[in-house]
């Protein structure tokens, strides 16, 4: 599903160049649930950005589902991402002026993969799947953190992407809610989705099929 | 079902009602002004053209001492003449108050229902008038101080007085409104009691006007003059004296130039305010996008393309523009119609039956949507092209204060009071926004000051011009009278302190090709006079030693550019050509051509010996309007008692005031236009302050947490508003100079055919400073109120 070869990412900062990833090689199989762990600044989020096509490597190649990301233009990459990758953020990142249902509808609207006549039903089904169907018409400000993250996961599933990436998805949640969210990711993996999760929570690591540990931008194990 | 992204457009607009309202107001102002101008143009222009054409305006009018039908037939046979008509004209005066008389031009009409040239239409009352009745041009009722049914007392040439019943009004669309030119156009029938002769149709032994329409090249002034010259020759060969040949600008209403110029000025202001409002909206969108960077990143992470993201934000602009159109269009149409009616009244036209100009609506909608979208396109595309990583990592976070040299210098000014220092630093923290706000407000201020500067320049020019004419009254006599008799009569008045008698005439100016064309005024002031001392742009003024020299004004130079000091000015007078050496070119406000010549030369040209006169220039003891008016009444009475007929009596204060009165129109036009620009500037200031408050919410929370009261916080925002206002005032003073110079040149060119002297009024600058402080205070009111009532907890957790 995912193949990274010799991926290096260097940022220019006011203090000089900073290398976040150093010659990373990584393979993730379809349906695999991978937890990426490491200390703060080890390159976890940068790695996730590479997989999701959110950022491009300074050197090396990233291929997801057979697509070489560096060959895709900016807009083709956006379209590819909408169809192939579901992204879950640490701070949920729901659009504040759209309701929960509309937030889930938004990726379908952008990508046009799901026929318009089926979108609403699918969005409601996804909200039901993540246990927040009754929150469909509420604005994000009216939802708890856990509810917002469930809506965000439903949104990530909107276009039925084969790959789900999540960056510290429970970083802002209490332990009980975190546990439920991790269970949800586990279920997704068991349903055939490839899940790559950046986390520092032990529960996630224990639930994952494989753990990738990063140290100073390198895969340590 | 509306797609979620379009719901986002709507909700983002509604989420910030204050800012959205400001954007809508700014755009509405632009749409309103453009709409008002286009509507006025669309309604007035076709009406003017068709209305004026319908009167079948004369190509040329020749004033003759007498006419006959046979001679009129001969005129119609002149090559190039398509049609000709004769109208006897009585140059009389109508009583408009006790011992107050206003010139009235009585047109004698042979057949009211079959007019051929310079036609007019019935407006109200009788048609045609009975022998004892008169019809007045509709705009003349107020000048004559009568209404239909009143009696109008008319003093005829020769002194005979008749009373006529004002039986109705007519609309003579080819004439300027009577109140503007201060004379009364009147129309009587062929059998009117005013006429010296009876119903003799074959012969009109009285002063008449022969109006001709040319058959070819009706818009070529040169051709018309040639045909008029041929007609003049025919009349003179038949022993008629042609006293005046008038050729108006072909195909143009007499005041069309003024209206075009006003339209141009207003158009410039309208486009300026529209562009400014669009730029303001672009800046608001830019600010909105800077707040929504993270949302752009999220949408892109969800699969949105650059085009889709751009579409969302352009959709917001289009929505704001659509609301602005809904407000601006009706307002613009209402004001445009009122303005068209006002302009029509100046042009003596009617727009009440003009069809609704659909194209204006289409143009307004197109411009109102397209222009904001175009100006927003840049910031929207820039924001939409941001990468997800940049958007989500905060790579576009604002630059911290203190990283630039100016900011570090500002930070060192610790001697300033701390609250003021904080406001000062805050003001300069967002320099691009500050620059835009200052420029917007400064342009408004510059337009405002320029309007006042033009007024000041006009006022100064008029007062300066009249300060060189130190006589209070000018009496024009119907017949020549011995100077000794007039002098004795005038000096009997206790208020008259001095009187002078200057010879004068109306010769034709010989142009560059040696052809006599335009009529000019020839005046021979006393060489020792103190009553007239005009400034000169070339050469010198007349001196007592001059016997043949002449000073021409710029009105003469305009008609014959080859004339100047050292050349001769040639005049055609009573069949003879007189050449006078030019010794100076005078600077005068009037665009009318005048040749001032040494008195002996003028007497020689006129064939007079200097013992009789037709005009007297009088100085009264008190120079104010009241004493001039009182002296004028006494003199009217005295002349009447002596049996001397007065053809006209002009008060200098009246002449000056009538020119100053035009200022009202100019000031109204420029003031209205500048107010719109000021309005847009004020919205810009409010918007800028509001954005600063929104973006500094957390900082305001911190201020509150460390003990700042709501009053302190709102004072801080107010000070920021006033500071920006004062900065804009400084810039406005610089920008006002070229704008004022341009407007003064344009306005002077329209009315006087030469630019007004450059004037920057300190009063205008001081007034704008006061206004901008008030405006800064008003604009900061809402942002300050909002900042003061921010709950500290909420402010501290603001993202």
Domain ranges of chain B: 1-53+256-397, 60-246, 470-654
Flag if A83 and B389 touch (Cβ within 8 Å): no
Residues of B in contact with A154 (CB under 8 A): none
DSSP string over B169-190: EEE-TTSPPHHHHT-EEEEEET
Size of interface A-B (CB pairs under 8 A): 82
Nearest to A98 among B8, B305, B307 (CB): B8
What whole-number distance in Å separates Cα of residue A89 and Cα of residue B299? 12
Distance from CA of B766 to the nearest CA of A (A): 47
Nearest to B123 by CA among B186, B83, B169: B169
What tens digit of pLDDT does each residue of B608-647 get?
888 889 899 999 988 787 888 888 889 988 998 888 888 8
Per-residue pLDDT of chain A (221 residues; tens, 9 = 90+): 899 999 999 988 777 888 999 999 999 999 999 999 988 888 998 999 899 888 889 999 999 988 888 888 888 888 888 889 998 887 888 888 888 999 999 889 888 889 999 999 999 999 998 889 999 999 888 898 889 989 999 999 999 999 999 988 887 778 888 888 888 888 888 888 999 999 877 666 777 889 999 999 898 87
For residues B347-368, average pLDDT: 85
Nearest to B87 by CA among B107, B59, B106: B107
For residues B115-121, average pLDDT: 92
pLDDT category at B202 given cuts 50, 70, 90 is: very low
What whole-number distance in Å separates Cα of residue B211 and Cα of residue B53? 15
Distance from CA of A211 to the nearest CA of B (A): 25
DSSP H helices in B305-430? 306-346, 358-384, 388-393, 405-411, 418-429
- Give the residue, B402 or A176, on which the prediction is more confident: A176
Contact B595, B523 (CB under 8 A): yes
What whole-number distance in Å separates Cα of residue A44 and Cα of residue A218? 10
**Residue A141 per-residue DSSP state:** G
Nearest to B15 among A55, A78, A97 (CB): A97
Which chain B residue has the Cα nearest residue A93? Answer: B298
pLDDT category at B123 given cuts 50, 70, 90 is: very high
What whole-number distance in Å separates Cα of residue B183 and Cα of residue B178? 6
For residues B773-780, average pLDDT: 90
What tens digit of pLDDT does each residue of B2-61 get?
888 898 888 888 888 888 888 888 888 888 888 888 888 888 777 777 888 888 999 999
Contact residues of B toward A, CB < 8 A: 1, 3-5, 7-8, 11-12, 15, 294-295, 298-308, 385, 387-389, 392
Nearest to A97 among B11, B308, B389 (CB): B11
Distance from CA of A27 to the nearest CA of B (A): 22
Nearest to B303 among A78, A89, A98 (CB): A78
Nearest to A49 among B5, B300, B389 (CB): B389
- Examine the pLDDT at B417 and tell me if it is beyond 70: no
pTM exceeds 0.95, yes or no: no
**β-bridge partners, B122:** B170
Flag if A54 and B302 touch (Cβ within 8 Å): no
Residues of A in contact with B388 (CB under 8 A): 49, 54-55
Flag if B302 and A98 touch (Cβ within 8 Å): no
DSSP H helices in chain A? 44-52, 74-84, 100-111, 116-129, 145-156, 175-190, 202-207
Mean pLDDT of chain B: 85
Helix axes B256-291, B358-384, angle to 10 degrees: 30
For residues B372-398, average pLDDT: 81
What whole-number distance in Å separates Cα of residue B214 and Cα of residue B209? 16
Give the number of residues written for chain A.
221
Cis check for the bond before B128: say yes or no (omega within 30 of 0). Answer: yes
Which chain A residue has the Cα nearest residue B14? Answer: A97
Residue B403's pLDDT is 67
What whole-number distance in Å separates Cα of residue A107 and Cα of residue A158? 6
Nearest to B389 among A55, A98, A109 (CB): A55
- Is the ipTM reported for this complex over the cut 0.90? no
Contact A26, A60 (CB under 8 A): no
Residues of A in contact with B391 (CB under 8 A): none
Residue A203's pLDDT is 66
- Examine the pLDDT at B378 and tell me if it is beyond 90: no
Domain boundaries, chain A: 28-56+71-219
pLDDT category at B199 given cuts 50, 70, 90 is: very low
**Residue B353 per-residue DSSP state:** T
Residues of A in contact with B305 (CB under 8 A): 75, 78-79, 110
- Name the least confident of B402-416, B461-475, B668-682: B402-416
Flag if B300 and A78 touch (Cβ within 8 Å): yes
Contact B697, B795 (CB under 8 A): yes
- Examine the pLDDT at B395 and tell me if it is beyond 70: no
Q: How far apart are the first and last CA of chain A?
A: 20
Flag if A111 and B303 touch (Cβ within 8 Å): yes
Q: Which two tokens stand for residue B788?
A: 């003061």
Flag if B305 and A81 touch (Cβ within 8 Å): no
For residues B492-516, average pLDDT: 83
Distance from CA of A214 to the nearest CA of B (A): 20
What tens digit of pLDDT does each residue of B552-599 get?
998 888 888 888 899 999 988 877 888 999 999 998 887 788 999 998
- Examine the pLDDT at B697 and tell me if it is beyond 90: no
What whole-number distance in Å separates Cα of residue B719 and Cα of residue B712? 10
Residue B396's pLDDT is 56
Contact B565, B764 (CB under 8 A): no
Residue B200's pLDDT is 43
**β-bridge partners, B124:** B169
Helix axes B256-291, B652-695, angle to 10 degrees: 10
Distance from CA of A19 to the nearest CA of B (A): 16
What CATH class has A28-56+71-219?
A: alpha beta
pLDDT category at B201 given cuts 50, 70, 90 is: very low
Flag if A106 and B5 touch (Cβ within 8 Å): yes
């Amino acid at each position: 599903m995912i193949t990274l070869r010799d991926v290096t990412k260097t940022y220019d900062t006011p203090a000089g160049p900073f290398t976040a990833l150093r010659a990373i090689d990584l393979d993730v199989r379809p349906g695999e649930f991978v937890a990426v762990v490491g200390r703060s600044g080890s390159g976890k989020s940068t790695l996730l950005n590479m997989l999701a096509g959110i950022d491009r490597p300074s050197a090396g190649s990233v291929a997801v589902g057979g697509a070489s990301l560096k060959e895709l233009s900016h807009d083709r990459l956006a379209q590819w991402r909408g169809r192939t990758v579901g992204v879950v953020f640490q701070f949920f990142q729901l659009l504040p002026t759209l309701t929960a249902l509309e937030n889930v509808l938004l990726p379908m609207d952008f990508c046009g993969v799901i026929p318009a006549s089926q979108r609403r039903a699918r969005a409601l089904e996804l909200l039901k799947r993540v246990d927040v169907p009754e929150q469909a018409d509420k604005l994000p400000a009216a939802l708890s953190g856990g509810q917002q993250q469930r809506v965000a996961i439903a949104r990530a599933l909107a276009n039925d992407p084969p790959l789900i990436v999540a960056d510290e998805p429970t970083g802002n949640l209490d332990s009980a809610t975190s546990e439920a969210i991790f269970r949800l990711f586990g279920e997704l993996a068991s349903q055939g989705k490839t899940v790559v999760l950046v986390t520092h929570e032990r529960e996630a690591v224990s639930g994952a099929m494989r753990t990738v540990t990063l140290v100073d931008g390198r895969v340590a194990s | 079902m509306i797609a979620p992204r379009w719901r986002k457009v709507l909700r983002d607009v509604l989420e910030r009602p204050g800012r959205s309202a400001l954007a809508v107001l700014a755009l509405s102002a632009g749409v309103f002004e453009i709409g008002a101008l286009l509507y006025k143009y669309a309604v007035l222009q076709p009406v003017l053209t068709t209305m004026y054409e319908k009167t079948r305006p004369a190509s040329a009018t020749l004033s003759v001492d007498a006419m006959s039908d046979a001679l009129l037939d001969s005129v119609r046979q002149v090559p190039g003449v398509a049609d000709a008509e004769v109208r006897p004209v009585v140059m009389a005066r109508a009583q408009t108050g006790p011992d107050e008389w206003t010139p009235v031009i009585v047109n004698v009409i042979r057949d009211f229902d079959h007019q051929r040239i310079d036609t007019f239409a019935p407006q109200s009352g009788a048609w045609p008038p009975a022998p004892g009745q008169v019809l007045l041009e509709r705009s003349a009722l107020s000048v004559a101080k009568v209404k239909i049914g009143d009696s109008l007392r008319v003093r005829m040439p020769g002194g005979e007085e008749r009373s006529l019943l004002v039986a109705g009004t007519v609309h003579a669309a080819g004439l300027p409104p009577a109140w503007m030119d201060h004379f009364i156009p009147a129309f009587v029938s062929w059998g009117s009691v005013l006429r010296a002769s009876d119903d003799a149709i074959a012969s009109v032994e009285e002063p008449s006007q022969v109006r001709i329409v040319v058959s070819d090249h009706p818009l070529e002034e040169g051709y018309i003059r040639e045909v008029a010259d041929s007609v003049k020759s025919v009349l003179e060969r038949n022993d008629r004296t042609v006293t005046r040949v008038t050729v108006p600008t072909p195909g143009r209403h007499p005041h069309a130039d003024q209206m075009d110029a006003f339209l141009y000025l207003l158009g410039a202001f309208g486009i300026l305010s529209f562009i400014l409002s669009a730029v303001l909206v672009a800046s608001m969108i830019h600010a909105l996008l800077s707040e929504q960077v993270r949302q752009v990143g999220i949408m892109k992470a969800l699969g949105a393309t650059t085009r889709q993201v751009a579409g969302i934000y352009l959709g917001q602009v289009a929505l704001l523009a659509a609301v602005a159109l809904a407000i601006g269009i009706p307002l613009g149409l209402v004001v445009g119609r009122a303005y068209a009616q006002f302009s029509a009244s100046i042009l003596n036209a009617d727009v009440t039956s003009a069809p609704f100009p659909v194209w204006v609506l289409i143009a307004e909608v197109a411009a109102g949507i397209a222009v904001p979208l175009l100006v927003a396109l840049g910031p929207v595309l820039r924001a939409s092209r941001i990468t997800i990583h940049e958007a989500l990592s905060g790579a576009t976070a604002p630059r911290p204060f203190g990283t630039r040299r100016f900011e570090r210098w500002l930070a060192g000014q610790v001697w300033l009071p701390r609250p003021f220092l904080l406001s000062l630093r805050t003001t300069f923290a967002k320099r691009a926004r500050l620059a835009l706000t200052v420029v917007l407000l400064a342009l408004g201020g510059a337009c405002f000051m320029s309007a006042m500067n033009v007024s000041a320049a006009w006022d100064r020019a008029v007062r300066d011009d009249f300060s060189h004419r130190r006589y209070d009254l000018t009496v024009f006599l119907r017949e020549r009278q011995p100077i000794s008799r007039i002098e004795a009569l005038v000096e009997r008045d206790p208020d008259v302190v001095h009187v002078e008698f200057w010879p004068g005439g109306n010769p034709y100016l010989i142009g560059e090709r040696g052809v006599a064309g335009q009529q000019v005024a020839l005046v021979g002031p006393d060489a020792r006079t103190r009553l007239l001392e005009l400034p000169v742009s070339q050469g010198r003024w007349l001196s007592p030693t001059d016997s043949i020299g002449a000073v021409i004004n710029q009105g003469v130079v305009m008609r014959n550019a080859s004339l100047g000091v050292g050349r001769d000015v040639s005049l055609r007078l009573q069949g003879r050509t007189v050449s006078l050496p030019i010794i100076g070119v005078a600077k005068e406000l009037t665009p009318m051509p005048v040749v001032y010549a040494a008195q002996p030369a003028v007497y020689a040209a006129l064939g007079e010996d200097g013992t009789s006169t037709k005009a007297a220039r009088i100085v009264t003891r008190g120079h104010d309007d009241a004493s001039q008016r009182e002296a004028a009444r006494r003199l009217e009475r005295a002349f009447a008692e002596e049996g001397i007929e007065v053809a006209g009596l002009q008060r200098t204060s009246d002449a000056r005031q009538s020119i100053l009165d035009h200022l009202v129109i100019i000031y109204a036009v420029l003031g209205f236009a500048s107010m719109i620009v000021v309005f847009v500037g004020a919205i810009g200031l409010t918007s800028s302050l509001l954005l600063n408050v929104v973006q500094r919410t957390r900082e305001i929370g911190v201020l509150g947490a460390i003990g700042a009261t709501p009053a302190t916080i709102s004072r801080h925002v107010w000070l920021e508003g006033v500071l920006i206002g004062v900065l804009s005032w400084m810039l406005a003073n610089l920008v006002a100079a070229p704008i004022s110079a341009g407007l003064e040149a344009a306005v002077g060119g329209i009315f006087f055919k030469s630019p007004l002297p450059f004037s920057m009024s300190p009063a205008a600058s001081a007034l704008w400073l006061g206004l901008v402080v008030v405006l800064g205070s008003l604009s900061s009111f809402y942002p300050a109120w909002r900042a003061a009532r921010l709950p500290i907890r909420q402010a501290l957790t603001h993202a």
